[in-house]
Every structure is written in C-alpha cells, then in structure tokens.
Amino acid sequence: MKPIRIFRHISCEGPGYFSEVLDHYSIPFELVCIDKGEMPPPQINDVSGLVFMGGPMSVNDDLPWIKQELDLIKKAVDADLPVLGHCLGGQLISKALGSTISANPVKEIGWLPVQKIENEQSKDWLNKLPSETTMFHWHGETFSIPDGATAILKSHHCAHQGFVIGKTLALQCHVEMTTPMVKEWATLYRDELAHSSETVQSYEDMVSGLENKVENLQNAANALYQRWLEPVRD
C-alpha cells in the first residue's frame, strides 16, 4: 500500500489522533515537516492520499510553500486522490479550489458545538454522528465553499465548518486532538485565552474534564476518518 503523506506546518500541530487511526489500520504514512524547512514533494503518484494539518499562519500569507501546497491539492483533487484538511488544511483546500479565506466574525477557541447540515453528502459522510457534536476549535479565519463542493458542518458562529467534494474532506475544526495536544496548545497560546468570551474559552474551561472531552471528540473523529479512509482501504 502506498503511504499517506501528511503535511505539518508547526511542530505542535502534528497528525495527533489521526496517526493512531492509521496505525490501527496498518496504513503507512510519512510526515513532511514544513516547519523544519522541508518542501512539498510535487508528485502524487507515490501516495494513496494527502493530509494537511493546521498552523498559526494564514493561507493568505506570502509563504513559498503555500503556493506549492495549493497546486498539489488542486492536482490531487483533479486526480480523485483522497485529500483531508484540518483547520488551516481545510482553508488550503478551499483556496486551492478557487474559494476565499477571510476573517470569521469571531474567534472560535475551545470546545464548541458543531451541527450537521442536512443533505445527501452529510448523510453519507456523517451518518455515524449525532445532529450536534462538540468539537475542538482554534481559528480566527474561515473558508468559503468551493464550486462543486457541499457544506456538511456548521456552528453557531461559523457557517462553514466542513465541506466535501469527491474524496476530499475539509474541516475548519480540529478532530485530531489528543489530551497532550490540548494541554500543549492551551499552555503555548495561553495569552489568547486571557479574555474569554462566548466563543473563546478560558484555560481552566478548556482543560476541565479533558479526558472525557477528548474521548468524545475521538469518537467523532473515528467516524470521519473511517469514511475518508474508505477509498484508501479498498
């Protein structure tokens, strides 16, 4: 089996729980560490899928690797190769497919509910999820929905939390989180939590009951990842 290629943009935002799922199914993967100066390989014929993780930068920043990843995503989607994006990764997919990335009305940081958008694609991709699920968030920007794609997730303060097109899944929320990752982010970026609000949680709220929150998140992640991996495992 060809490996899945995962793109990491900052050291603390690695594949997390997604790598555990891949190990469970004995699916090989390789990590491209953009944060260490590695550049995106231009070819896609040596992998079974592409996965793009998050990061504190904007898709609209003038960084050389961003254009390379955008070109790679467009090539993969056109070739019907599975593509998956988390937060920044979802925004990269959106922009690669011709849509825009802009400021969300508010920042969403912490554990906040996400709702299904009822349509046929949602029934296909989210059939194992309830109508509302609490997900982990850390973003100030959001994507628009590309032509030909279907929105499947939303939240009260962010209209576009997820979309699909073919074998591609783009997420605004973070379903890859593990308990250590949440603790690390909450510590590294604690200054962003100083002024809590309806959509920005305090440090104390973010880490309270963390094991249970992560367990519930990973149950939702299992449903999404298993559906995305179907063409890879066939």
Beta bridge partners of 85: 52, 170
How many whole angstroms separate alpha carbon 210 and alpha carbon 217? 10
pTM of the model: 0.97
How many whole angstroms separate alpha carbon 64 and alpha carbon 133? 36
Mean pLDDT to the nearest integer, 37-62: 97
Token digits of residue 19: 């790598």
User: C-alpha angle with apex 150: 91 to 104, nearest 5 degrees?
Assistant: 40
Question: Is-contact 105 141, C-beta < 8 A?
Answer: no
> In the structure, what pLDDT confidence band is assigned to residue 94 with cuts at 50, 70 and 90?
very high
Mean pLDDT to the nearest integer, 134-146: 98
Mean pLDDT to the nearest integer, 197-219: 97
Q: What confidence score (pLDDT) does residue 115 get?
A: 98
Report pLDDT digits (tens) over 8-26: 999 999 999 999 999 999 9
Strand boundaries in the chain, DSSP class E:
4-8, 29-33, 49-52, 83-86, 101-116, 132-143, 150-155, 158-165, 168-171
Q: What is the mean pLDDT of the chain?
A: 97
Q: Which residue's entry shows tokens 């790679």? A: 72
Statement: residue 4 has pLDDT above 90:
yes
Question: Is-contact 134 216, C-beta < 8 A?
Answer: yes
Q: Could you tell me whether strands 83-86 and 49-52 are parallel, antiparallel, or unpaired per DSSP bridges?
A: parallel
Statement: residue 234 has pLDDT above 90:
no
> In the structure, what pLDDT confidence band is assigned to residue 74 with cuts at 50, 70 and 90?
very high
Domains and CATH numbers, the chain: 4-233 (3.40.50.880)
Q: What confidence score (pLDDT) does residue 224 get?
A: 98
Residue environment code for 139-173, b if the CB has 16+ CB neighbours within 10 A, otherwise e: bebbbbbbeebbbbbbbebbbbbbbbbebbbbbbb
Statement: residue 120 has pLDDT above 90:
yes
